């Protein structure tokens, strides 16, 4: 564990930078540039151009960047503003991994952690390490290094970019933590291999595909303020490939009202093929540009498995007055963080939190999905950031990689269901096992998997009758004895597919069915799930007791999750009629606004 580590070389370098009085350490700097920081960019840029840190040439071996849902050994936070939120992160993280706290006063932090506020005392701090080093801000996601591995699963390294803020202490923290953890740090801080980037604007699948907004192009292009080398899109791609193994880099248009243009404020990769996307009311705020971005992805991009991405929608909550950006803060459930079997999620108000947490728990069965309030006394969301923005994970030194494209629903009741899984470990794989069941209460059946070459392991689940749900997961055992499962929370979590009734698929096309509308009654948000054998375009409206239409909720094809959101907060308390129509018919439900 780390205790009061101090890097002399770092302090000497920082002391030189702190010759500028205006660059002295400040802990409460905002997520965006502070007004006084604009004049500091040029001297900071010049100082960075003449300095060198870390390994500034690309790795000689092929590298892979870790996905956020992979196994982590540590999570890094800096102890400054919003201590109540930080304490709740520590409380939930210590059961999953080491918590590294960079702080000025270790004893003061311990006193707060063991104090009565925000859930009471955290007595066992054996999983907490304190790092005594200076820093500028709480936003560790943006300036801390990414985890990379050579040859997919071999040696662990960290990869650090140029930070797009004139904050020298933040920018140097990766080197200090790398030294304390005995992990070498690669660095894109020196021309000709310089690159400006931030962790909040980066999301990857662990298989060579990554997402960012076009902020990464702006900051490395001709108008960039922190870059040394001017790069076009191909030049940025080349740097990402050399240092991070990113072969497929998807860059999306920036959103009009997202002031920091970080994608973690509105989207999240839940696995290699599933995108969690924040959704605004139709035509509101950043909704139109966000929808255009998602349609571009669906029309032009495929996942690492070669198929279109699965889209899961989650509402973007408004302010208490019902406003959205630019007239309110950017509230989002997508700004969550994986810590092995726990997912920490920002919360705002109960009527929206209930929906956001339910959607995440449905998508991530078996995970401990924990909410942390980010919008009341500890109002961090007003700074355009939340839980993901103030945490940065470090992957384990000995990863056992399991990658699998989950089985889709099927009408097949005759042939066995083949499960193919990519499994790798630096010592090799000794064995792999497929576990499956149709009832998790009675346990899983184990099926030995066999290798088919190329690190692919195969087994089959016996054919099942129609109207059956099949739960399954995969386990790999390395030659050195390490065991890993995927999903990482198995057997409490699993993948699920359904064996469907083919007779229903050949019946006369039926109209839509409102499978669920919750919560009902409601004070504001309603989530509607629509079923139907042949939906096509769907029109969803809300009418009052006299049959007058008060809201058109949706008009067009449904997304894959078949969900739509209605916000009734602007309507009077009364009963309403929800109507879903398509070419084959209609479905009606009663909604009560409290």
The DSSP letter of residue 264 is G
Residue whose tokens read 């000025």:
104
The whole model's pTM is what?
0.91
* Cα–Cα dist 38/493, whole Å: 48
- Measured distance CA(297)–CA(250) in Å, rounded: 8
Q: Is the link from the previous residue into 365 a cis peptide, with omega within 30 of 0?
A: no
For residue 222, the number of C-alpha atoms closer than 13 Å in the C-beta half-sphere is: 0
Q: Residue 540 corresponds to which tokens in the numbers above?
A: 């969803």
From residue 311, give the alpha-carbon distance in Å to each of 96, 272, 553, 562, 572: 28, 12, 19, 10, 32
pLDDT of residue 582: 85
Walk along the chain (594 residues) in steps of 10 and give the mean pLDDT of each run.
39 39 63 93 82 88 97 97 97 98 96 96 97 94 97 97 94 94 96 96 98 98 95 98 98 96 97 96 92 93 93 94 94 98 97 95 97 94 96 98 96 96 98 98 97 95 97 98 98 96 68 86 89 78 84 85 87 89 84 82
Q: How far is CA 47 from the centre of its chain?
A: 33
Question: CB–CB of 353/371 below 8 Å?
Answer: yes
Cα 148 to Cα 68, 70, 156, 293, 316, distances in angstroms = 12, 12, 6, 28, 32
Residue 456 contacts residue 408 (beta carbons within 8 Å): no
Helices (H), 156-210: 168-181
The Cα–Cα gap between 268 and 264 comes to 6
DSSP 66-89: PPTTS-EEEEEEE-SS-HHHHHHH
| Cα 442 to the center of its chain, rounded Å | 33
Question: Tokens for 514?
Answer: 């409102």
Both tokens of residue 111? 């006193």
Query: Residue 504's pLDDT is what?
Result: 67
In the chain, DSSP finds a helix count (H) and a strand count (E) of 11, 33
DSSP string, 273-328: TEEEEEEPSTT-TTHHHHHHHHHHHHHH---TTSSPPEEEEEE----TTS--TTSS
Look up residue 236 and give its two tokens: 């940025």
DSSP structure string for 360-406:
HHHHSTTSEEEEEE-SSSS-GGGGT--TGGG-EEEE-SS--EEE--P
d(CA 106, CA 307) in angstroms, rounded, equals 49
* pLDDT for the residue 514: 86
Q: pLDDT, tens digit, for every residue of 395-428?
A: 999 999 999 999 999 999 999 999 999 999 999 9
pLDDT in tens, 496-520: 999 998 876 665 567 888 888 888 8
Question: Token digits for 228?
Answer: 């040394």
Position 355 scores a pLDDT of 94
Helix, strand, coil share (%) of the chain residues, nearest 5: 20, 30, 45
**Residue length of the chain:** 594
What the block records as the tokens of 161 is 């970019």
Instruction: Supply the pLDDT for residue 22.
Output: 45
Please name the helix (run of DSSP H) or strand (run of DSSP E) that holds residue 100, with its range, or none: strand 98-102
* CA distances to 22, 154, 204, 464, 541 from 589, in Å: 61, 55, 40, 34, 11
Tokens 């939930």 belong to residue: 92
Distance CA 194, CA 236 (A): 10
Give the residue range(s) of CATH 2.60.40.10 domains in the chain.
Answer: 401-504
Q: CATH 2.60.40.1220 region(s) of the chain? A: 509-593
Paired sense of beta strands 72-78 and 98-102, if any: parallel
Q: How far apart are the first and last CA of the chain?
A: 52
Q: How far apart are CA 471 and CA 473, in angstroms?
A: 7
Question: Domain 509-593 maps to which CATH number in 2.40.10.10, 2.60.40.1220, 2.70.50.60, 1.10.3470.10?
Answer: 2.60.40.1220
Task: Provide CATH code, domain 401-504.
Answer: 2.60.40.10
User: Could you give the CA distance from residue 540 to residue 566 in angstroms, rounded to a whole number?
Assistant: 10
8-394 — its CATH code? 3.75.10.10
Residue 243 to residue 189: CA distance in whole angstroms: 12
Spatial separation of the C-alpha atoms in residues 15 and 30, rounded to whole Å: 23
Q: What pLDDT does 19 receive? A: 37
Q: Where does CATH 3.75.10.10 sit in the chain?
A: 8-394
Do residues 342 and 370 make contact, with C-beta atoms less than 8 angstroms apart? yes
3-state secondary structure of 167: coil
- pLDDT score of 469: 97
């Amino acid at each position: 564990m780390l205790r009061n580590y101090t890097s002399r070389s770092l302090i000497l370098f920082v002391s030189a930078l702190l010759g500028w009085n205006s660059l002295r350490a400040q802990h409460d700097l905002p997520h965006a540039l502070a007004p006084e920081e604009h004049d500091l960019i040029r001297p900071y840029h010049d100082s960075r151009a003449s300095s060198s840190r870390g390994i500034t040439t690309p790795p000689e071996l092929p590298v892979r960047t870790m996905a956020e849902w992979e196994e982590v050994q540590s999570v890094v936070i800096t102890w400054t503003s919003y201590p109540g939120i930080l304490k709740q992160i520590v409380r939930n993280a210590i059961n999953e991994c080491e918590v590294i706290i960079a702080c000025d006063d270790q004893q003061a932090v311990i006193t707060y952690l063991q104090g009565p506020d925000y859930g009471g005392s955290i007595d066992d701090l054996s999983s907490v390490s304190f790092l005594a080093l200076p820093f500028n801000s709480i936003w560790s996601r943006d300036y801390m290094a990414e985890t990379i591995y050579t040859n997919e699963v071999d040696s662990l390294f960290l990869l650090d970019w140029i930070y797009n803020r004139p904050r020298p202490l933040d920018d140097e923290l990766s080197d200090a933590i790398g030294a304390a953890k005995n992990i070498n740090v690669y660095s894109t801080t020196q021309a000709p291999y310089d690159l400006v980037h931030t962790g909040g604007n980066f999301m990857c699948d662990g298989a060579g595909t990554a997402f960012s907004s076009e902020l990464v192009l702006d900051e490395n292009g001709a108008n960039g303020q922190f870059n040394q080398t001017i790069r076009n899109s191909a030049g940025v791609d080349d740097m990402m490939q050399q240092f991070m193994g990113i072969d497929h880099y998807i860059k999306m248009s920036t959103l009009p009202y997202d002031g920091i243009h970080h994608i973690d404020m509105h989207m999240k990769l839940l696995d290699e093929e599933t995108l969690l996307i924040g959704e605004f009311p139709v035509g509101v705020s950043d909704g139109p540009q966000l929808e255009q971005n998602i349609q571009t992805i669906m029309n032009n991009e495929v996942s690492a498995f070669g198929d279109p991405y699965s889209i899961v929608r989650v509402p973007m909550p408004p302010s208490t007055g019902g406003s959205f950006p630019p007239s309110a803060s950017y509230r989002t459930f997508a700004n969550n963080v994986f810590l092995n079997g726990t997912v920490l999620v920002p919360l705002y108000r109960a009527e929206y939190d209930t929906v956001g947490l339910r959607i995440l728990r449905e998508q991530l069965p078996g995970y401990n999905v924990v909410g942390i309030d980010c919008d009341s006394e500890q109002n961090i969301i007003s700074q355009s950031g939340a839980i993901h923005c103030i945490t940065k994970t470090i992957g384990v030194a000995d990863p056992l990689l399991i990658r699998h494209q989950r089985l889709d629903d099927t009408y097949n009741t005759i042939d066995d269901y083949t499960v193919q899984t990519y499994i790798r470990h630096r010592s090799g794989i000794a064995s792999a096992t497929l576990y499956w069941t149709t009832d998790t209460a009675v346990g899983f059946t184990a099926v030995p998997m066999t290798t088919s070459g190329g690190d692919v392991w195969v087994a089959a689940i016996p054919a099942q009758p129609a109207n059956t749900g099949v739960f399954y997961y995969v386990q790999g055992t390395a030659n050195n004895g390490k065991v890993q499962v995927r999903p990482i929370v198995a057997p409490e979590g699993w993948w699920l597919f359904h064996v469907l009734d083919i007779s229903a698929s050949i019946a006369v096309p039926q109209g839509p069915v409102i499978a669920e509308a919750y919560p009902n009654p409601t004070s504001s948000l309603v989530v509607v799930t629509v079923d139907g054998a042949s939906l096509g375009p769907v029109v969803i409206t809300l009418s009052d007791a006299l049959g007058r239409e008060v809201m058109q909720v949706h008009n067009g094809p449904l997304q894959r999750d078949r969900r739509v959101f209605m916000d009734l907060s602007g309507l009077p308390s009364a009963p309403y009629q929800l109507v879903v129509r398509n070419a084959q018919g209609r479905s009606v439900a009663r909604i009560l606004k409290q």
